[in-house]
Amino acid sequence: MSQLRNTDSEIFQLIKNEEKRQKDVVRMIPSENYTSAAVMEATGSILTNKYSEGYAGKRYYEGQEFIDEVEKAAIQRAKSLFGADHANVQPYSGSPANMAVYHALVKPHDIVMGLGLPHGGHLTHGWKVNFSGRYFTPVQYGVKKETGRIDYDELRDFAKKVKPKLIWAGATAYPREIDFQAFGEIAKEVKAYFAADIAHIAGLVAAGVHQSPVPHADAVTTTTHKTLRGPRGGMILCKEEVADVIDKGVFPSLQGGPHNHTTAAIAVAMKEASTPEFVEYAKQIVKNAKALADELLSHGYDLVSGGTDNHLILVDLSNRDIPGKVASQALDRAGLVLNYNMVPFDTRSPFNPSGIRLGTPSVTSRGMKEEDMKFIGTKMNEVMSNVDNDDLISKVKNEVTEFCSKFPIPGLLLGE
């Protein structure tokens, strides 16, 4: 990065600072991960110079012979990896991918059904402050208070009552496996489209660790980072019968030219995700999450749904009388990075909720295993039991930095 250093030393130094932060802390925000050096090289390639409005073989600009091959490779690899009829790799991220599905499958003011944000859903699944809640008629389902899980019988009854045109499955803070087959059957019963948003669990689905929605859903959306370990992009997988309207939902409905450097990096990530090593990585994510959940349970923490099936843990701190924001900020000072989060039936504000959300994709990418989760859980407990003790937090920070030094971060390109 000598050119960047010489051209803009301020931005270069900020990047270097962030590099050091990522090396020295335990990153447990569930949506974050580390990409490979190959993915970063593709993302930073000369393809960022090219404009390619349209689709392969149907572009509006000339000079596309190599760009078309890059996009076709990304599409074919995505289709093969997930077993899909069709793939669109042009969405700029997950939310635009979801917006394209709305454009393709429903009309403004149609009833759309999704998991409520306070119960672990996503903004784009019909939440009131989002476009999906403003331009469509949203109805929200939730989880059972007693179990923290989706009740599929209640979901079916609710769908029959409200008769949605589109049903979303998927979440940002749901620690259990989603029964996509049940969702597909319910959607058929009420003659609705079924869309699955697997942004958080796409890597687990690709590796066969989590059941796949592809056989059951009309459309499947995902980001290409998170557990999939690709660049910051989006993707839509769908059945052949809706492929044309999905493509038109992306372009020209929402976007102009795709980001070709991102498309290339998606192709690289799809190739990496098709390897046996990636399957083992995905399995280890779940093993680590279960081990970390068990460690937190051993210290008396209340986990939503009692544990986890995937990469994510949601901790309800109500019984500790520690607001989630206070806990997350104290943990951050100790180098244990996660986010505060609402829990189902939370009585506190979204800006200072009762819970914290954490996950294991990043720590697994660094090579950490179950025994390392015990260290992390123990240190989390020390900090959350002493959120006002700056000396203890400083001591834990030093211990965390030393611990992290044993696990080099993947894909490191910067020199000293």
Q: Which of 51, 55, 135, 152 is catalytic?
A: 51
Q: Which of 71, 179, 197, 316 is catalytic?
A: 197
Residue 297 tokens, joined: 């349970």
Residues 6+ apart with CB under 8 A from 211: 177, 178, 179, 180, 181, 205
Residue at 294: amino acid letter: D
Q: Pick from 359, 365, 379: which is nearest to 407 by CA?
A: 365
- Residue 252 preceded by cis peptide, ω within 30: yes
Q: Which of 165, 226, 357, 397 is catalytic?
A: 226
Q: Which of 156, 232, 283, 374 is catalytic?
A: 232
Residues 6+ apart with CB under 8 A from 220: 82, 84, 195, 196, 197, 198, 213, 214, 236, 237, 238
Strands across the sheet with 355-359, in order? 302-303, 312-316, 355-359, 339-341
**Is the C-alpha dihedral spanning 306, 311, 316, 320 positive or negative?**
positive
Active site residue 402: no
Active site residue 51: yes
Q: Which of 43, 223, 263, 364 is catalytic?
A: 223
- Rounded Cα–Cα distance for residues 325 and 332 (Å): 10
Active site residue 53: yes
Cβ 122 vs Cβ 172: under 8 Å: yes
Buried b / exposed e across 3-28, counting CB within 10 Å, b at 16+?
eeeeeeeeebeeeeeeeeebebbbbb
Active site residue 247: no
Tell me how far CA of residue 370 lies from CA of 289, 305, 312, 373, 376, in angstroms.
8, 21, 15, 5, 10
Q: Which of 24, 53, 177, 332 is catalytic?
A: 53
The catalytic residue positions are 51, 53, 197, 223, 226, 232
